[in-house]
Amino acid sequence: MDSEAENRDDGFPFDREPENAGAKDSPEPMPRDESEDAVELRKRTEERDVYRSELLRARADFDNLQKRVRKDRAGWEDQAVRRFVRDLLPVLDNFERALASTLEGSRQGPLEEGIRLTYQMMRQLLGDHSVSEIPAQGEMFNPELHEAVAEEPVEDRPTGEILEVLQKGYRHGDSLLRPSRVKVARNVKEEETTRHADV
């Protein structure tokens, strides 16, 4: 009997069963119902639509942010220029005072010439960045541009005319950097005429 088992040519050793031998006994997986596949497909389609919608919303938000940054960048640059110029104006005032005192003297040496050239360069630089002096001397007082710090009674000038500029004012484009500090005329004759008219 051993010889018969050895001569058997079916390719399986006798001490173990073929792998497929027990397969007939186990139940085969049931095919999925088509309605389950449709539900799964619908679920995945909804997820895809949600992700796509979120992606489009995020892309639109990013585009809007880029546009807003481009629009606001010029404003940020202007703010930086204004902040710097405001800090620089007292230095410019001191240069003007130094020039006024050197002009009173008779002789200008290299130091005075250096002060004058530096002042001119600073004024040119400010002009290149749209910074301009506010006209005040001889103008009528404008509370949006001028700050009245003194008033002088006069007879030959209209009330509100600027008699003297005590500190120059500056603007950057349309924005006020610093108002001109001025002395304003108060016409006493006009006041008397008004007083008599009221009585």
CB 138 within 8 A of CB 161: yes
Residue 47 is inside which H or E element, if any?
helix 34-104
Which pLDDT band holds residue 90 (cuts at 50, 70, 90)? very high
Per-residue pLDDT reduced to its tens digit, 26-44? 555 555 566 888 889 999 9
Beta bridge partners of 150: 183
- 22-33 CB burial, b ≥16 within 10 A, e <16: eeeeeeeeeeee
Q: Identify the CATH class of 132-199.
A: mainly beta
Evaluate if residue 24 carries a pLDDT over 70.
no
86 — pLDDT class (breaks 50, 70, 90): very high
pTM higher than 0.85: no
pLDDT grade for 190, boundaries at 50, 70 and 90: confident
**CB within 8 Å of 59: residues ≥ 6 apart:** none
Whole-number Å distance between alpha carbons of 87 and 181: 17
